[in-house]
Structure 1
Amino acid sequence: MNDHLGAAAKDTETKPNFWYQLPHGYLELDFHPSEEGVAELSRQVGGLPQDARDRADQTFRLYALTALLLRNQPVAVYALGMHPGADGQASLSVLTISAISSKGANPVRVLAGMVTGHAGDGSRNGLQPVELPSGIGFLTERVRTTVAPGVPPEGRQGPLEGTVWQGTVAVPEPRTSSIVTVQMVTSSVGLADDYRSILLGTARTLTFTDPTAEAAQGTGPAVTGSAGEAMKSDFG
């Protein structure tokens, strides 16, 4: 578990205020960077040795493109994770937390209806109810093919493709008719069990009550304990 407690405080008339903790090995990125911040990052990349500069430049361009795309999405939290992989290479993943309006409908009923509608899909395809400290949540996961980063080899028609595991926990917040989603995506499909544990551990830290206010009253933070320890131990 990282040391800081994140807060995504938005307009309470349209979106919920929520707090969360990032799991071990994840770094939250700013997808609303200032012009000065982007210029400074570009300057630092330009000052690296040639080999490192080429790799860093690719990462910088990917970050800039991702930040641009996320500005038009209801994403409140965007974090990159890096952990040891089974083959000795780094295993990369993306963690996002979003707040989506259910357009005035009761979000619990919306998600419960989706569970009923997917009842015959099987445990890995349909929505599964999960108990969370913030209330009932709904887990879904799938393996899908998507566009992979990188330049296609010469002569190849169309972009590169890759396989990713995607897991999502949807948590209803009835006070604002919103659904908060915690989503994990990784190309390390073989580590799906580990990433599912991290996803559920992150969802268990989600709270709609300000934990700093509770701590000030002497009741202690709302998000502590075994969930954080479990996430930290998933990759050692």
Structure 2
Amino acid sequence: MAVFNVLDPLQNVSLLFTEEQLADVIAWFDSNSKPYVIIEDEEPFSVITVEKLIQFLDLKKYHRRSFHYPSYAEIMNEIEKLKAGATRMITKDQFIYILNKWVLMPDIKNEIKLAFKVFDTEKRNFLEIDDIKMIVTRYADVFNENETRELLRDANVRGDGNVFYEDFVESLFSMAPELYQLKTEYLYENPDEDPTFFSEPVVEDKSPTPPPMQVEVKVPSKKVKKK
């Protein structure tokens, strides 16, 4: 088992970022980092502070569908693993390593259920058997017709021949757990179109509005001269 090297954390690590995302992460680091010297006369290397890392996360560059935004405790837990708790300085490779741990990959089971949901235009949570056969054999191209017929025997089929597709997907993965190993992509490229995820709610400020400040202006009275 390879020993984890805090100075070379990306060793034996598969990066989950896209090339475009990785280039953006590196560009942000380069523009926000500063040279740091441990021993005099040695070549300095660039670092950012933990506070800068938190600032990057606060930018919310990625949709919640594809990225886990950690709590402060989760951030500091990773910082301690990198032995950077005392210096609170992290290198470029450490920065990429930490962010990469919070990248979320598509859940193949969820994406298949979502694909069935697309065909359920009436939002009834079930489809007809013929629709299921067409999707699995024509669109998914995972099972042939005989295999699909066998799977449908164990699906939640109503008396009228309709299939609750979420139960059907569960039966697929129960009978063929190797499906979990398949890589998939998000059905919706634009996460804002994905009906299973919602935008961050706008929090309205419900604190009472203070009354307008009233300023009392005193006009000096004119003195009347006595005759």
Query: Which has the larger strand fraction?
Result: 1
The structure with the larger Rg is 2
Query: Which has the larger helix fraction?
Result: 2
Shorter-chain TM-score: which interval?
under 0.3
TM-score normalized by structure 1?
A: 0.24
TM-score normalized by structure 2?
A: 0.25
